Chain A
Amino acid sequence: MDPSRIRNFSIIAHIDHGKSTLADRLLEKTATLTHKQMQEQVLDSMDLERERGITIKAHAVRMNYQASDGEIYQFNLIDTPGHVDFTYEVSRSLAACEGAVLVVDATQGVEAQTVSNLLLAMNNDLTIIPVLNKIDMPAAQVDSVKQQVLDLLGGDEDEIISISAKAGMGIDDVLEAVVERIPPPAGRRESPLRALIFDSLYDQYRGVICFIRVVDGTVRKGQKVCFFSTGVTYDVEEVGTLVLDRVATPELQAGEVGYLTANIKELDEAGVGDTIMDAGEQEVEPLPGYQPLKAMVFSGIYPVNPEDYEMLRDALERLKLNDAAFSYEPETSPALGFGFRCGFLGLLHMEIIQERLDREYQVEIITTIPNVRYEVVKKTGEVIEVENPSLLPPTVEIDQVREPILSVQILVPSDYIGAVMKICNDRRGLYLNTEYLDGSRAILSFELPLSEVVIDFYDRLKSSTRGYASFDYEHKEMRAGPLAKLDILINGEPLDALSAIIHRDNAQVWGRKFCLKLKELIPRQMFEVIIQGAMGNKIIAREVVRPFRKNVIAKCYGGDITRKRKLLEKQKEGKRRAKQFGKVEIPQEAFLAALKMED
């Protein structure tokens, strides 16, 4: 294919603004899919994605489009995740494109996520095609949302395409705009090979499958290639294009998007962002890669049954193969035994991993309270990183504890500014400024400790602004604060997995609320459960779960054993996800108690 007829682009949008629906329509219009193959939102191929209505992993698909100029164009649509947790994946998708279709919901207007993704696209020098979706909805505010888009992008009102992806209106205009406005890829076919790995996944039969964008040169079956960062050489086993399924082709040329397999055994060997080049080629400059990904949120994942440890490790390993953003390393907890400390992009990412472990791998797990990474400066001057609160050194050894601070932008209708202020104040936020987008909407800027955002912030923000607020964040710095560890003792023994690092000023109140929540979540059992919150040696809260006084049914009706059995099976089921701790049992929910606390 002549590079001048190739268009590589993404669709970027805030969650629920209709990105996947638009993708479906593009596939339909270009006859990439027959109607029979058409499934709602085909790009979201994982069950979980379809259920949650969000795209988690980036995928790519090729379409052939006959434009109004009579020529056939090759479109490579690279899908991007839409949730705030997945900013990183957006950025790496964008690096494989020359343009982006920016979808804005005409009933919702520009949201924080729209802005941040747009900035990412602009940083990648992409051509932006603004599209206003859902214009057929009664609540659509076409004119004012157009104005919002113009305020952001500048340019001419005529450049904004009005569509309804659901009803199939305006799709041709989008396709034509992709041809007309997005520049063709600029690579040189005759140059030595340079291809960017923008995603990869592990296939149990084929090994690692690299999704690549060929920037210069050509890659074909049988070619010897070298991966820049590892220096390892491979024989290319297969290359091909992505038309929903993988379709093998003899070669991929500069400007094309497709996949490559080369008997690569470990995903680590094919790092996302790496450059693939000709083996033996010394002179080639690698492509600008990606910033190494940093997990923001950490939690312990332990098997409920210790003998499932190996199974859990295998499952995590396989998840990691498909998810560069996810990290894990072994850790041991006196209470929970052998498990893993896992790093996530955010809470949603954590929930998704948890659910995938449960559904796809059927491992019963205990997840501990998510926390952030702290930097501890010891009196000796040594600086250590603490990802697990129970490993915070004793107070006497600590000079200072630093925590990650985010700069946060919250876009909200003016009516809710007060509500947002309150939430951020309650969470140790530092207010910076307010910027009015138009008369009715404002962007509020804050500095907030990540630890306060990790837990429940997004839900609370949404609920107290009736869903109108949207927010975006980036890491700002590590900052010292009066932070200390709260330990939870169960019947006098510390349960390390329940330790939390909290702000001293809130310690009393928080500790009491936490113990009370634990009391609600720990069911009555054979033995008394005494829950204590302690800062150092000082007990600051105490709650008691009283033991069963009577737990026996009086009568088994006329030999109806099945009824009694069902009652006891229910009791037994309750123990399934509980962890034995001394004489008592702590259910999984208790380990996540901090997520369920009311403000």
Chain B
Amino acid sequence: MALHGLYIHIPFCPQICPYCAFSSLRGVDHLHERYVLALCNELCARGETYQRNPLQTVFFGGGTPTQIDPSLIGQVLETVDRVFGMCSDVEITVEANPGTVDLEKFSHLRSVGCNRLSLGVQSFDNYALKKLGRVHSSEEAIRAFSSAREAGFSNVSIDLIFSVPSVSEPAWKGSVDRAISLQPEHISAYALTIEEGTLFAKREREGMLVVLTEDDDAIQYDWTRHRLMSAGFGQYEVSNFAQDGRESRHNLGYWTGLEYLGVGLSAHSYIGGERFWNISDIESYLQRVEGKISPEEGRERVDGQTARRERFWLGLRTSQGVLLTEMEQEILKHNCRMASLVDAEFLRLEHDRVVLADSGWCRADGLAVELTDLLEQKPEGTPNVC
């Protein structure tokens, strides 16, 4: 298999968001150059280990990639091009925080080769933005969007977060409608998830933060899905919606088992049937790379059973669903549990694929587990009452 995508982690942030579980750092802006140099060195070292083929996608994620100077992004891209090369239609995405950008920065990013923007708006409601600890206002987000357009970005995604405690349903709906009205090519709508190690997790433990009930969360999710679809955005993944042909090729790679390399702090890779990931401490990362030592923290081989589970657990998240082997098709066609899941409009069997049906999207994980569970039972071991 050829390397499909490259993920580059930029951990620097203007402020740490209370819900964010990514590696992110504040107040270490003096490290930008040193870090980018380390990234380039890691890329070169990886290039010696892995097959060098032109990449389909490059993704700068964070942290806040727009916290560093666009020329540094350019420096990384030059290295990428030198080490791996990039396809002529390569998708190069940069995550951007509306509070850290202006027309000049966007133009600069364009000029170094970035062709897709993922704008971390999160909400167009200023109360919600405050709750989420964002540095920007709704107005700044709208200005950022038009600057991006002005700078020539013709492929822009808007990130939104729903199910934020104490944010009203009308406020959320207003945010979605505002996003639609800006006519981006892509919208990601994520349910707020309380991750271990975040400020939100701490507040929840202390009883200071009361998350939405499962029912309310589901209601917002279902409303959002239908609203976006009726506005012409196709749902191609649990949290991702795009106008035709504007799906994120990079993210799709994750769901469909394509190979990707991740460089930088705590970045994850999947190459040659192995998953590995980098350490998450900035000092150790810099020292290791500068000392020509691999910054890898861990590595695991994906065995046959795990690979199959991943195929279902990831693939089912997408609108294409999971491509089934003939044996899997046979089992699913005649399985009673499967029949009930189809009856309930959770799943659909489309000759060689299993895909989420309308009521399945909000239960995708549970369904993926069901599927692997029933496929892992030995054939004679299914005394199911139909």
User: Which one of A493, A554, A568, A572 has the greatest number of beta carbons of chain B within 10 Å?
Assistant: A554
Q: Are B314 and A526 in contact (CB under 8 A)?
A: no
Q: Does A47 contact B (CB under 8 A)?
A: no
Is the Cβ of A583 less than 8 Å from the Cβ of B340? yes
Complex contact A561–B378 (CB within 8 A): no
Stretch at the interface among A172-180, A282-290, A545-553: A545-553
Q: Do residues A559 and B260 form an inter-chain contact, with CB atoms below 8 A?
A: yes
A569: chain B residues at CB < 8 Å are 309
Contact pick for B362, options A307, A493, A552, A560, CB 8 Å: A552
CB-CB under 8 A for A557 and B22, given A307-B378, A572-B369, A575-B369:
yes
Interface string of A563-594 (1 = CB under 8 A from B): 01101110110010000111100000000000
- Give chain B residues whose Cβ lies under 8 Å from the Cβ of A565: 306, 309-310, 313
With A and B bound together, what is the CA distance between A305 and B377 in angstroms?
Answer: 8
B190 touches A571 (CB 8 A): no
Q: Does A233 contact B (CB under 8 A)?
A: no
Report whether A526 and B260 are in contact in the complex, using a CB–CB cutoff of 8 Å. no
A330 within 8 A of B: no
Q: B98: CB under 8 A from chain A?
A: no
One of B107-115, B200-208, B211-219 contacting the partner: B211-219
B21, B260, B363: the one within 8 Å of A551 (CB): B363
Q: Does A250 contact B (CB under 8 A)?
A: no
Task: Kindly name the residue among A306, A561, A564 whose own CB sees the greatest number of chain B CB atoms within 10 A.
Answer: A561
Residue numbers in A under 8 Å from B363 (CB-CB):
526, 548, 550-552
Name the B residues within 8 Å of A553 (CB-CB).
193, 365
Q: How far is the CB of A526 from chain B (nearest CB, A)?
A: 6
- B332 to chain A: which residues have CB within 8 Å? none
Rounded to whole angstroms, the CA-CA distance of A557 and B377 in the bound complex is: 31
Q: Is the CB of A571 within 8 A of B367?
A: no
Asked if A562 is at the interface of the complex by the 8 Å CB criterion, the answer is yes
CB-CB < 8 A to A466: which residues of B? none
**Band of interface residues on B:** 35 or more
> A561 touching B268 by the CB < 8 A rule?
yes
Closest to A556 in B: B254
Residue of A571, A581, A583 near B366 (CB, 8 A) is A571
- Asked whether, in the complex, the Cβ of B193 is within 8 Å of the Cβ of A583, the reply is no
The answer to whether A558 and B268 touch (CB under 8 A), given A550-B221, A550-B363, is yes
- Name the segment of B86-94, B128-136, B269-277 touching the other chain: B269-277
Instruction: Verify B380–A572 contact, CB threshold 8 A.
Output: no
Name which residue of chain B comes closest to A575, CB basis.
Answer: B373
A556 and B277 CA atoms in complex are apart in Å by: 14
Determine the distance from Cα of A551 to Cα of B22 in the docked complex, in whole angstroms: 22
Q: Is the CB of A337 within 8 A of B383?
A: yes
Inter-chain CA distance A571–B363, complex, in Å, is 13
Shortest C-beta distance, B223 to chain A (Å), equals 13
Min CB distance B238 to A, Å, is: 6
Q: B337 touching A583 by the CB < 8 A rule?
A: yes
Flag if B364 contacts A552 (CB, 8 Å).
yes
* CB-CB under 8 A for A558 and B61, given A526-B344, A575-B369, A583-B337: yes
Separation of A593 and B266 alpha carbons in the complex (Å): 45
CA distance A548 to B369 in the complex (A): 13
Min distance, Cβ B24 to any Cβ of chain A, angstroms: 12
Note all chain A residues with C-beta closer than 8 A to B384: 580, 582
Q: At the interface, yes or no: A538 with Cβ under 8 Å from chain B?
A: no
Q: How far is the CA of A567 from the CA of B369 in the complex (A)?
A: 10
Contacts A549-B214, A553-B365: A307 and B381 contacting too (C-beta < 8 A)?
yes
Q: Which residues of chain B from 350 to 368 have any CB-CB distance to chain A below 8 Å in the complex? A: 361-368
Q: CA–CA, A558 to B14, complex, Å?
A: 20
**Which of the residues B239, B270, B341, B381 comes within 8 Å of A554, measured between beta carbons?**
B239
CB distance from B348 to the nearest CB of A (A): 15
Chain B residues positioned under 8 Å from A527 (CB to CB) = 340, 344
Contacts of A582 in B (CB 8 A): 384-385
Query: CB-CB < 8 A to B317: which residues of A?
Result: 552
B370 at the interface (CB under 8 A from A): yes
CB-CB contacts below 8 Å: B256-270 with A: 260, 262, 266-270
Q: Which A residues are in CB contact (< 8 Å) with B7?
A: 558-559
Known: A526-B346, A550-B362, A553-B193. A559 touches B238 (CB 8 A): no
Residues of A within 8 A of B323 (CB): none
The answer, yes or no, to whether B48 is at the interface (CB within 8 Å) is no
Min Cβ gap A555→B in Å is 5
Task: Please indicate the chain B residues that have their CB under 8 angstroms from the CB of A580 in the complex.
Answer: 337, 382-384
Residue of B nearest to A570 (CB): B369
B345 to chain A, nearest CB (A): 12
Q: Which residues of A contact B309 (CB under 8 A)?
A: 565, 568-569, 572
CA–CA, A558 and B270, complex, Å: 12
Residue interface mask B267-292, A partner, CB < 8 A = 1: 11110000101000000000000000
User: Does A32 sit within 8 A of B, measured CB to CB?
Assistant: no
The reply to whether A552 and B381 contact each other, CB–CB distance below 8 Å, is no
Which of A552, A558, A568 meets B262, CB within 8 Å?
A: A558
28 interchain pairs, CB-CB under 8 A: A305-B378, A305-B381, A307-B380, A526-B341, A526-B363, A526-B370, A548-B363, A548-B366, A549-B215, A551-B367, A552-B317, A552-B363, A554-B191, A556-B314, A557-B22, A558-B22, A558-B262, A558-B267, A561-B268, A561-B270, A562-B277, A562-B300, A571-B369, A572-B373, A575-B369, A575-B373, A582-B385, A583-B340
Known A571-B366, A580-B383, A583-B337; 12 more pairs at CB < 8 Å: A306-B381, A306-B383, A549-B214, A551-B366, A558-B61, A558-B268, A559-B254, A561-B275, A568-B368, A568-B369, A572-B372, A575-B373
Shortest 7 CB-CB distances between A and B: which pairs? A551-B366, A550-B218, A552-B364, A554-B190, A549-B218, A554-B191, A559-B268
